[in-house]
Amino acid sequence: MKNIITKDYQEMSQLTARIIADEIKKKPNMAFAIPTGGTPIGTLQELVNIYNKEKLDFSKLKCFNIDEYVSLEKEHEQSYYYFLNHYLYQKTNISPSNTYVPNVFNDLEKECHDYEKIIQEHGNFDFILLGIGEDGHIGFNEPQALHQAYCHVQKLDQSTIEANSRFFEKKEEVPKHAITLGMATILKSKKIVLIANGKKKANVIKKLLSTQEINPLFPASFLLLHNDVTIICDQDAING
Ligand code: F6R
């Protein structure tokens, strides 16, 4: 795993956006999987800046949500559909027909199966951007003895619900389940970049950079199985 340390969040976001833009230049129709949450906001904003300044064409880009909360309407400001629309899709020429997100109001099992099928029909992802939970989750694959290989419904851990409650008015509003990509699909991506910032991520980043074991109770350790992973984090996520 390659590790790049940046001086701050802004530099992390700029560098990550530049890497994504370069990939889009190489393959304008790449299949790109995108996370939500606090960490990627700066990266998406920088990507929009590059789009505007460099007239980069996103019209062929295929964009996939990594996860979606079960039970939140698309219009809900905390739905992940809303998030990517707000930070990226509406601000670029990404075609709505090239954006994919699980529909959490369908039969969930069928939806997971269909979402996985669409990803496979695209030949899996060319590029996946990941965040990381303080407990080591990637996507919403929580620490657990058994991991689902493919798209599935995941019960969120209490610690994830607590962490994500900062985006909701009341903790009780945070959904308890999400549809997420499974580990196999994440690992089939040709390129993986994981971003992390801030002191709260220092423990998990230290653990990730030092681990030599694949431990299902530390989901990010599955990244050791991939040969093109770059971890980009700011000084705070390294030094605490
Ligand atoms: C969300 C996702 C999660 C987040 C993680 C970190 O789409 O896939 O794995 O990346 O929970 O969230 P933040 O960035 O809010 O710290």
Nearest atom (ligand 1) to Cα of 36: 7
pLDDT tens, 96-143?
999 999 999 999 999 999 999 999 999 999 999 999 999 999 999 999
Pocket test for ligand 1, best of 41, 134, 137, 180 (most atoms within 8 A of CB): 137
pLDDT for position 205 = 98
Amino acid at 38: G
pLDDT for position 99 = 98
pLDDT for position 156 = 96
Residues of the chain short of pLDDT 70, as ranges, are none
Instruction: For residues 196 and 232, give the distance between their C-alpha atoms in angstroms, rounded to a whole number.
Output: 7
pLDDT for position 112 = 98
Is any atom of ligand 1 closer than 6 Å to the C-beta of 35? yes
Tokens coding 83: 């998030």
Is any atom of ligand 1 closer than 6 Å to the C-beta of 154? no
Nearest atom (ligand 1) to Cα of 37: 15
Nearest atom (ligand 1) to Cα of 160: 11
Residue nearest to atom 4 of ligand 1 (CA): 131
CB 69 within 8 A of CB 154: no
pLDDT tens, 74-88?
999 999 999 999 999
- Angle formed at CA 87 by CA 53 and CA 230, multiple of 5 degrees: 80
- Measured in Å, residue 14 CA sits from the centre of ligand 1 at 19
The pLDDT > 70 percentage for the chain reads: 100
pLDDT for position 217 = 98
Instruction: For residues 130 and 66, give the distance between their C-alpha atoms in angstroms, rounded to a whole number.
Output: 8
Considering the entire predicted model, what is its pTM? 0.98
Instruction: For residues 124 and 20, give the distance between their C-alpha atoms in angstroms, rounded to a whole number.
Output: 17
Residue nearest to atom 12 of ligand 1 (CA): 37
Nearest atom (ligand 1) to Cα of 67: 7
Is any atom of ligand 1 closer than 6 Å to the C-beta of 138? yes
Which among 48, 105, 119 has a CA at the least distance from the CA of 76? 105
pLDDT for position 178 = 97
pLDDT for position 16 = 98
Mean pLDDT of the chain: 97
